[in-house]
Amino acid sequence: MSKPSPFDELAAGAGIEPYYVDIWGARHALSIDTRRAFLEAMGMSAATEEQTAQSLAALTTKPWRRALEPVTVLYEGHNEWAASVVFEAEPAGPATWQVIAEDGTQYEGNISLGDLPLTEAKTVDGQHLERRLLVLPGSLSLGYHRLEVMGDALPHGSGAATLIMAPQHPVPQCVGACQKIEVALLSTFPQRKQAALNAAAFLAVATDLNQRQRRVRAALFDKI
């Protein structure tokens, strides 16, 4: 099997499928021009090999340039939960965390890097970074909450994420509605930031999204 080209890697990394299936079940390949147009709409230039390489490098390192992913989906019924956080490999100082629940209740604590499970490490622009799991006790209610991490141990001093506490099982009745909402989201996200965030959050709660869909929506969050 041949190695994917940088353009194919960029498109796949952005969540763009190389084909689509029509209503009759026939499979159609997406042209390079179509995929390039999708990439341009998502803010990733791919008109030349140099632009493609630059966009691919930016895409692969972007998750390491922020402490937290914009949105983390959690599921009810657990006594503890975890969020993936990027830290400096050799932190200059301590770090703390704070959770602000939807009802206004606040939880906070200190972070001891040595106690956090290491999941991945990478060097970006000469800076050694580590991705670790921040495991926090306690049960949050269904809804939208906010996680904040702060301190010199973080690449940019702080980070914040929306936490969506979802039910264990999707609501089947919502699937059709979610598909319609997704179409509206894709067409309006540049203009309506909060509406787009709420719609995407609803999608995450109501359906069991696969990894590629989450990457596409994460890219959308970055543009709104």
User: What's 147's domain CATH number?
Assistant: 2.60.40
Rounded to two decimals, the pTM is 0.64
Report the distance separating Cα 216 and Cα 144, nearest Å: 21
Would you state the structure tokens that stand for residue 60, as one six-digit string?
């692969």
Q: What is the pLDDT of residue 88?
A: 86
Among 27-31, 82-86, 139-143, 209-213, which is the least confidently predicted range?
Answer: 209-213
Same domain, 135 and 74: yes
How high is the mean pLDDT of the chain?
79
Residue 1 is assigned to a structural domain of this protein: no
- Residue-wise pLDDT for 145-161, tens only, equals 999 999 888 877 889 99
Do 94 and 160 reside in the same domain of the chain?
A: yes
- Domain final residue, candidates 36, 63, 90: 63
| Rounded average pLDDT over 92-113 | 87
Q: What percent of the chain has pLDDT over 90?
A: 30
Q: What is the pLDDT of residue 49?
A: 93
* Residue 40 in this model has a pLDDT that exceeds 90: yes
Per-residue model confidence (pLDDT) at position 111:
86
The answer on 154 and 114 residing in a single domain is yes
Domain that includes residue 83, residue range = 70-166
Per-residue confidence (pLDDT) for residue 89, from 0 to 100: 82
pLDDT for residue 182: 54
Average pLDDT of span 133-138 = 80
**Are 113 and 94 members of one domain?**
yes
Cα separation, 54 vs 59, in Å, equals 9
CA distances from 137 to 104, 109, 118, 121 (A): 18, 11, 18, 25
